[in-house]
Structures are given as structure tokens and as C-alpha cells.
Amino acid sequence: MSESVGPARTPVAPQGSRRALLGWTAEGGCPYAAQANPKDHAPHLCSMNLNEFAADSLSASDQGVVAGLAHESSDPPASAAGDYALLDAYSRAVMAAVEKVSPSVVNVEVHQAAGRGRSGEQGERRGGGSGFVFTPDGLILTNSHVVHDATRIEITLSDGRRVPADTIGDDPATDLAVIRIDAGGLQAVELGDSQQLRPGQMAIAIGNPYGFQSTVTAGVISALGRSLRSYSGRLIEDVIQTDAALNPGNSGGPLVDSRGQVIGVNTATILPAQGICFAIGINTAKFVASRLLRDGRIRRSYIGVSAQTVPIHRRVVRFYQLPQENGVVVLGVEDRSPARRAGLREGDVIVALDEKPVAGVDDLHRLLTDAQVGARCGLTVIRYTEKLNLTIVPEEAR
């Protein structure tokens, strides 16, 4: 039997729809696709050619529809326009801060003595970092670990000049140092106030990582009040944590806020981690720099013991109503030291200095400042189960 086959029915778009106005059919796709896409690969490609062919092929009313489609596809939504404005404002803030501070950022090249070679000649080791000019007469702030034990220091300014530098003083306990150059036309940075910082605030790091001069990275203040162990063993307090990327060579460079004020001195990063970097608060740097300029060093007191933090038995804590459950056990006492003269013995647990609680070695370091040098201080210790009050006169640490 023969079966008659009628003509294929072509689906028609609903009347009044934009597809109907454009003559769209399920079989033929866009009627203008043949001109732009002879092989008719994909119907959606014809929308790319609407503006080109609509003028010759559409009526006036249809041209208005096409223009509306083109307008809708080209204009970003209002929310995207707002995002663009915010990003532009962020970029302008970063650029303004960088333009203000970059002329004061310097590259620090350090030469240190190394061991003698086979020929007997004195070897030399090179290192480097960053720094920034904080007074117009050539004082530069950088990290102690950058310039410590340097035999020669050379500074490269932002304008390309290379000048020698001398060390005024460095403090390994806070990882800060002040050096001086003799050069004119210097621009000093504006120092901010690290006490006013808040987490989430913009932070911009400027330095010379791996010798790439004036490298800029931006991020936020991740956290405040961190503690960081310096290479001298002491604890650096009130350290700023930021996710602004730091790399070797950034050490000593400035951490800047959106107003172009220096809020910290970049000092360290945790290498296996991503975005965990640290800077010493500028308020700490101001104090240390003033002492280095006055004395060439930071005066601290010492009592002459080696010690470590240990827990105190709970019965002893309750019996003597101690405010903390840890103390500092004395492991060794130096000869002719303040501790030896005060009668301190190995095994004694220090729990207070001048009636201030001592819960660990870091607390003892924090209390032994220059104010205690030569002053009579009360030292409270637990010897076995007995609480003793000794008198000690700390000396200046050498």
C-alpha cells in the first residue's frame, strides 16, 4: 500500500513574539542566517549579524525590535556598573598610595663577611631587602635581619642613584634597624598609627622581592595583635597579619594604608602557606627607631638565668591563690649574675616580678625593660612547695 505523505508542517512562532517579528522558524532558523552563515551551522549565530543585515531586510518596526535586542545585549546591568565603579575607586586608591610612597622606598644591598676560601682570601656573602626613607636627611628604616653583621651596605634609590649607607643601630629582638645615607632630594614617608587599624582594612606592600624594584601587592589587614618570634628568641608583640603577598626581598619595606601612610614594616611570611604575611606595627617601629637614634641600641635588663615555661601544680596554685597556672622554672644560673647574688637556685619557679605575674619566659622578657636596669625588684618564686620573696637588681643586657 502506498502511503501519501503531506507537506511538512513548519512550526510558527506565536504572533507578536520577537521571534515571529524576525521571521524565525523551527526549520529555517533565522531568515538572515543564510547571508551570514551559509552553512547554517547554528541558528544562534545569526544574532551576531542582526545589526549588519537588518537595515536592508526589515521593516521600520522590525528594525526597532532588532535595535532593542542589540541594546539589551550590549549594556551591562545596573549592578555590574556599580561593581565597575567600586573597582575603579579601589584601583585609584591603590595607585594614589603607591605614587605617594614609592619615591621613598629603597633597595638595600648588603655585603657580609664569609669564610675564607682555599686561596686564603676573605669571602663575601651578598643579601638584600627593602627599606624606606622616614626623614628628609636620609634616615632609613629596615629589618635587622637584612643589615645585621653587614660589612658594607649600598642603597639604590627610586631614581636609580646608588649610595653607601651606615648602620645607626639595629635591634634583633624587634627585627628593626635604622641606617643612614648622605644624599639630597629625598622624600620621606608619612608615618601612620597602627593602633587605629582594623581587620579588613586595605593594606598595600611595596618592596623589591627578588630584586624586582618597586613591586606592589595589595590585600587587607587579616588580623591584629599577633606575636612573632624573632631570630634572637624574643617575642615581637602587636604584629600585623596581612594577605598582601610578601616574598624574599620585601623585608624592610613599608606596609601602607589607603591614605599612603606607613602602618607597618614588612618582616616575614610563612613559606608553605598562602597569604599569611606579617609586618611590625609602625608604633613599635617609632619607639625602637627613637631609641636607636638616641643610644644606638635598645637597652634591656637581664637577671642571668636560663629558663623555660612549665605548669604549676594545681594544689600550689590554689594554696597560694596564684593568678596563673604556669611559671618559669630556672634551669641554670650564671656566675656573678644578678640571679646568683639574689640567691636564685636551679629548680626555682618564678611566678612574679615586682608583683606582676610571670606565666612564661615571654612575660619575663617583657618585664625586663630598661626601666629595671639597676633598680631593686621583688622576685617571687616557688621553691619546692614554699613561696619565697627575693630581692634582685637586674643589670643591662650586653
Catalytically active residues, by annotation: 145, 175, 251
**Which stretches of 102-155 are DSSP H helices?**
144-147
CA torsion sign for 242, 245, 250, 254 is negative
Measure the CA–CA gap between 81 and 49, rounded to whole angstroms. 26
- Which residue, 199, 204, 198, is CA-closest to 259? 204
CB 390 within 8 A of CB 342: yes
Name the residue with cell 600585623: 240
- Contact between 52 and 36 under an 8 Å Cβ cutoff? The reply is yes
SS3 assignment, position 319: helix
In DSSP terms, which residues pair with 164 in a beta bridge? 154
Output DSSP code: residue 121.
Answer: P
- The DSSP call for residue 21 is H
Dump strand ranges (E) for 230-360.
Answer: 235-242, 254-256, 261-269, 277-281, 301-302, 305-311, 326-333, 349-353, 356-357
Residue 143 CA, distance from chain mean position: 14
Alpha-carbon gap, residue 385 to 310, rounded angstroms: 15
Q: How many CB atoms lie within 10 A of CB 382?
A: 21
For the record, the C-alpha cell of 89 comes out as 575607586
Q: How far apart are CA 76 and CA 150, in angstroms?
A: 57
Reading the block at residue 326, the C-alpha cell is 604556669
Distance CA 101, CA 337 (A): 48
